[in-house]
């Protein structure tokens, strides 16, 4: 396993790429998922999409276990969101690709998610609460969408400008 570099906004690789479906769940893919999980734990974060480490594939890892609970990783290959509820909920979100910025985003309260697991078996999960929010946030990444795209243009432009400035300063050091 290896810790990989997480790409941060406004890097175009997070935006223009439509992540491709996985054709086969094999050892090479499991090795990528292992790297993703290690990278996410190291960050630390609760969800990561493959495109965030520069691999435009439809793969997500998540772990919503609390700090005092056993790790509970979930691997989603080719995830599809089904039956999003009409009811919506506001949840505060953050993103490893948008460091140190948090804001509330409105999303469907519940949904089902169909995916292939670590072994390549088809699964369907009923998601609500944090799970529903997180899955929808991560699936957005596969379409080149960031959570800040759900905010007002003013807020989005402000955070992108700040990140750009910080990256310029870091590069100059």
Q: Is 148 among the residues that bind Ni ion (CB under 5 A)? A: no
93 three-state secondary structure: strand
Structure tokens at 140: 């957005």
- Name which of 84 and 144 has its Cβ closer to Ni ion: 144
The CA distance from 167 to 88, in Å, is 35
Residue 103 CB, shortest distance to Ni ion, in Å, is 13
Q: Which tokens sit at 70?
A: 């056993």
Angle at 172 between CA 169 and CA 173, to 5 degrees: 90
68/147 with CB nearer Ni ion = 147
Among residues 70, 24, 78, 26, the alpha carbon closest in space to that of 49 is found at 78
Interface residue with Ni ion, options 95, 105, 111, 132 (CB under 5 A): 95
Q: How far is the CB of 40 from Ni ion (least distance, A)?
A: 10
Task: Tell me, yes or no, if 138 is annotated catalytic.
Answer: yes
Selecting among 69, 87, 138, 143, the annotated active-site residue is 138
**Which chain residues interact with Ni ion by CB under 5 A?**
95
Active site residues: 138
């Amino acid at each position: 396993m290896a810790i990989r570099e997480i790409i941060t906004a406004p890097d175009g690789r997070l935006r223009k790429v439509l992540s491709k479906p996985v054709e086969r769940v094999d050892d090479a893919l499991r090795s990528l998922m292992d790297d993703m999980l290690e990278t996410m734990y190291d960050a630390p974060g609760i969800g990561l999409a493959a495109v965030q480490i520069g691999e435009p594939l439809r793969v997500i890892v998540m772990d919503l276990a609390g700090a005092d609970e056993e790790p509970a990783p979930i691997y989603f290959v080719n995830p599809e969101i089904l039956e999003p509820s009409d009811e919506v909920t506001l949840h505060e979100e953050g993103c490893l690709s948008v460091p140190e910025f948090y804001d509330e985003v409105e999303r469907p309260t519940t949904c089902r998610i169909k995916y292939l697991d670590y072994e390549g078996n088809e699964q369907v999960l009923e998601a609500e609460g944090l799970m529903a929010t997180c899955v929808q946030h991560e699936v957005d990444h596969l379409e080149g969408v960031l959570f800040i795209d759900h905010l007002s243009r003013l807020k989005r432009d402000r955070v992108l400008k700040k990140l750009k400035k910080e990256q310029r300063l870091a590069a100059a050091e």
